[in-house]
A and B are shown apart, each in its own frame.
Chain A
């Protein structure tokens, strides 16, 4: 998956099914390869395996979280892997942002609560943009570019139906009702995203999306100073990367056009981004 090789071991139908559907385009590597994350999902060793079975997420043999209901093994895997990446991967400045690319230039969509980032990201991925990542803007501090990390896009609640209508050709995994974030379904990353997952890109735009029901479409330019603070705040490891993180955010902001985008209608938002980036 992008820069990482993940070893997953489990004997769970509830994990295998969605994995086959949502990771079908990803390459497999030889089992002797060096892996970045060694993940095991298994039942906790207790009597619950017979009633309301549960599942544990283990990294390097250590159990990390409280057990989840076994039928949500796949969302647990996705969420757990994100957690592992965020904990360890300080070779990158990790932005909590969606990243897409067109004609060699990338757009960053940083997440804020209720931003509708994943929905907008999924929509753009079906309108001519290559998906680099929905959750992680991985800015490689050595190569000074964004590393793709394509993964299934987690769509929540109403977004699931919105994307089904917006892109009928999109492949969605099973619905997981009653997760902590409501009902979740995952969008299989388009094949182009997986094909291009070794091609790092430099960003040209930073757009902070904000979804509000009934909002009029509005694109507003941000000052560099405002955008800097908001992007720095958005990074998972801004503090840990210290001076290097500061320089990286500066580099991104200096070379990007920075905007606030307020929207309600997905088609309008996509058209506005097309106009901006044409």
Chain B
């Protein structure tokens, strides 16, 4: 059984290998086993496979590992193909519509052919359209056969009034979820983003009608999603996304860091930028210039709040650690993360509810 610190060490090892794949060649069997377990549990196994393949190491890793990597890459390629097929259908349906449309997240990485897209499995097509054009896009897609699940009034209200997207659409022939956004974060969120500058800075991609956000905007959107989305299920994968995006953009363009900083200030996204840089640097080891870290420090919260955030985030990310080997640590962390997440009164209510749920199950 591994304690929390050795799990953290394993994650650091995983991130180090993703950044410097030569290290794969020195791993012993036991280390491979641990690495595969953490990679799978962080949903980074197919990324590890893609990195291994693109460095030509497929025949140098143990055959057993290479087999699983081949399998993971095949699955990812199949899923990506399905997503691109959905995008083709969407582009055809929307061809008459005169407004800018941006592909976001996974789809944007894929069509922009970024390294981060290699082996990256995503399940929704996310598109950003101007709020004024939302109704037209929705009606056009409905006419083209896309349907949204029947929602009750509350859910409908939830999406329309509080969220940054309309209820998800699916075409019954293909079943891929299509999310049409009109801004990057829920309307109720503390983070408010005016999407107009995103459209202005959008980048065209050869062969597609949809565009993708500019590099700095991609990074900032990924940061909002991770730090303000409230879902940590894929937290380590998202953090690794940030790492891959920033590395690639910084390598391509020496002015990237300055551009990122300027953009965050222009969009009022200083705080998400601060978190992205801090945790990518500390948890993943992204080579962020020390000047950037110092310059963004004032964007962060006060010392106490920051300490709390460090602990909270560390716990949230590590609490999705490989359960089999960390069962004890994980049970403790579960209690601990709940303690951190909730004020005592709410925690008590939450626990009573959980316990009540178990009782009901037992009684059946």
Task: A48 to B40: give the CA distance in the assembly, Å.
Answer: 30
> Which residues does chain B contribute within 8 Å of A242, judged by CB atoms?
74, 77-78, 81
Taking a contact as CB atoms under 8 Å apart, the answer to whether B71 and A34 are in contact is no
Taking a contact as CB atoms under 8 Å apart, the answer to whether A34 and B62 are in contact is yes
Binds A, one of B30-38, B92-100, B272-280: B30-38
> Which residues does chain B contribute within 8 Å of A35, judged by CB atoms?
33
Binds A, one of B219-227, B246-254, B355-363: B355-363
Contact size range, B: 20 to 34
Given A88-B68, A90-B71, CB of A38 within 8 Å of CB of B37: yes
A28 contacts B by Cβ under 8 Å: no
> Which residues does chain A contribute within 8 Å of B75, judged by CB atoms?
90, 240
Distance in Å from the Cβ of B53 to the closest Cβ of chain A?
13
Given A34-B33, A91-B67, CB of A47 within 8 Å of CB of B74: no
> Which residues does chain B contribute within 8 Å of A142, judged by CB atoms?
70
> Which residues does chain B contribute within 8 Å of A88, judged by CB atoms?
68, 71-72
What count of chain A residues pass the 8 Å CB interface test? 28
Q: Which of A19-61 contact B (CB under 8 A)?
A: 32-36, 38, 40, 46-48, 51, 58, 60-61
> Which residues does chain B contribute within 8 Å of A179, judged by CB atoms?
none
B29 contacts A by Cβ under 8 Å: yes
Q: Which of A222-278 contact B (CB under 8 A)?
A: 239-242, 244
Which of A5, A47, A91, A241 has the most CB atoms of chain B within a 10 A radius of its CB?
A91
> Which residues does chain A contribute within 8 Å of B67, judged by CB atoms?
3, 89, 91
Taking a contact as CB atoms under 8 Å apart, the answer to whether A240 and B361 are in contact is no
A9 contacts B by Cβ under 8 Å: yes
Taking a contact as CB atoms under 8 Å apart, the answer to whether B325 and A61 are in contact is yes
> Which residues does chain B contribute within 8 Å of A244, judged by CB atoms?
74
Q: From B324, which residue of chain A is reached at the shortest CB distance?
A: A61
Given A90-B74, A239-B78, CB of A46 within 8 Å of CB of B361: yes
Task: A15 to B75: give the CA distance in the assembly, Å.
Answer: 32
Q: From A141, which residue of chain B is reached at the shortest CB distance?
A: B70
Given A47-B358, A242-B78, CB of A60 within 8 Å of CB of B71: no
Taking a contact as CB atoms under 8 Å apart, the answer to whether A32 and B29 are in contact is yes
Taking a contact as CB atoms under 8 Å apart, the answer to whether A60 and B362 are in contact is no
B300 contacts A by Cβ under 8 Å: no
Known A32-B33, A242-B74; further 7 A-B contacts with Cβ < 8 A: A3-B67, A36-B68, A46-B358, A60-B37, A61-B323, A90-B75, A244-B74
Among all A-B residue pairs, the 6 with the closest Cβ atoms: A61-B323, A90-B71, A61-B324, A90-B74, A91-B67, A46-B358
The residues of B with any CB-CB pair to A shorter than 8 Å are: 29-30, 32-33, 36-37, 40-41, 62, 64-65, 67-68, 70-72, 74-75, 77-78, 81, 321-327, 330, 358-359, 361-362
